[in-house]
């Protein structure tokens, strides 16, 4: 598709639609909200699943998010677009996404596109929390229709990752059941055996989440996007925007500050793959 056609067709596709975004206040979620509002001006409404924390309710948390420099261009060009963002009280770590029954029914009735961006990216998280945040939440989102943001690194044992769904040795239903019913001591005891060749609970649970989507895709229109390590914007809406220390940034800042003096190098032939967040967002909008 050429650029002119994309600029016409893609905004038209999203026009009049109600969209739900999980993880909308996170790094990728912020960029997705901004791009949708600016590039697709006729989108009807965007529901943002928000978990209140640190003394902020969901409305205050949304307001704080919109104060970010990322939204400056939109603020100057079309500030009324922010009225299309609607916070929804929820928590992906809870069963059923922590949604109130009235909100669940409203979303089922009005939403036609869901971007499931929310995930825990901590590599050292307990198996229980990783399963709840990354695998069970995907199941609960599927119950509602959608685009799922996965990771290139769900297939860390493959030198090349093709655009295909790979079978899993484990049943995601069984893993969720184990995480829900076994105590923390037992889970810690057999986590290493459960993970097998996967390096951490993040990649393990994100791989299982792909299987969830695969199973639900038999009855729902689903898409999986596998970005690699998502870093700062390349150009849009501003160059170099970033609001976290994920990926290589923590190492670079630590080295620049003089706090980090030694880095243990792993396999010298392995190259880290980085993807600007604005490129990842464009990919998600086009694929959806």
Residue 214 and residue 171 in contact, taking contact as beta carbons nearer than 8 Å: no
Segments making up each domain of the chain, as ranges? 3-287
Query: Which among 44, 41, 50 has a CA at the least distance from the CA of 79?
Result: 41
d(CA 264, CA 267): 10
> N- to C-terminal Cα distance for the chain?
14
| Best CA proximity match to 50, nearest among 83, 25, 17, 81 | 25
Q: What is the structure's pLDDT at 1? A: 52
What pTM did the predictor assign? 0.86
Q: How far apart are CA 176 and CA 172, in angstroms?
A: 6
Distance CA 214, CA 198 (A): 20
- pLDDT attached to residue 27: 94
Question: How confident is the model at residue 5, as a pLDDT?
Answer: 57
Contacts of 166 (CB under 8 A, 6+ apart): 155, 158, 207, 210
Pick 3-287's CATH classification: 3.40.50.1100, 3.40.50.720, 3.40.1350.10, 1.10.645.10.
3.40.50.720
- Residue 286's CB: how many other CB atoms inside 10 A? 13
Weakly modelled stretches of the chain, pLDDT under 50 = none
């Amino acid at each position: 598709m050429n650029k002119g056609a994309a600029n016409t067709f893609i905004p038209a596709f999203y026009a009049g639609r109600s969209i739900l975004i999980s993880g909308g206040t996170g790094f990728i979620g912020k960029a997705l909200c901004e791009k949708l509002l600016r590039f697709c001006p006729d989108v009807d409404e965007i529901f943002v699943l928000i978990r209140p924390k640190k003394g902020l309710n969901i409305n205050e948390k949304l307001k704080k998010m919109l104060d970010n420099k990322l939204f400056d261009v939109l603020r100057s060009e079309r500030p009324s677009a922010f009225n299309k963002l609607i916070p929804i009280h929820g928590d992906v770590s809870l069963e059923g996404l922590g949604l109130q029954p009235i909100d669940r029914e409203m979303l089922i009735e009005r939403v036609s596109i869901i971007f499931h961006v929310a995930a825990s990216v901590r590599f050292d998280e307990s198996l229980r929390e990783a399963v709840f945040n990354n695998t069970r939440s995907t199941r609960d989102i599927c119950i509602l229709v959608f685009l799922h943001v996965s990771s290139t690194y769900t297939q860390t044992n493959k030198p090349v990752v093709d655009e295909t769904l790979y079978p899993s040795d484990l049943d995601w239903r069984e893993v969720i059941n184990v995480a829900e019913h076994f105590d923390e001591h037992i889970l810690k005891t057999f986590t290493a055996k459960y993970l097998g060749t996967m390096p951490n609970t993040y990649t393990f649970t994100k791989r299982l989440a792909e299987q969830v989507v695969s199973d639900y895709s038999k009855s729902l229109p689903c898409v999986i996007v596998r970005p690699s390590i998502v870093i700062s914007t390349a150009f849009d809406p501003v160059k170099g925007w970033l609001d976290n220390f994920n990926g290589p940034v923590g190492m670079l800042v630590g080295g620049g500050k003089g706090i980090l003096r030694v880095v243990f190098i792993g396999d010298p032939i392995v190259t880290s793959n980085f993807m600007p967040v604005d490129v990842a967002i464009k990919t998600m909008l086009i694929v959806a």
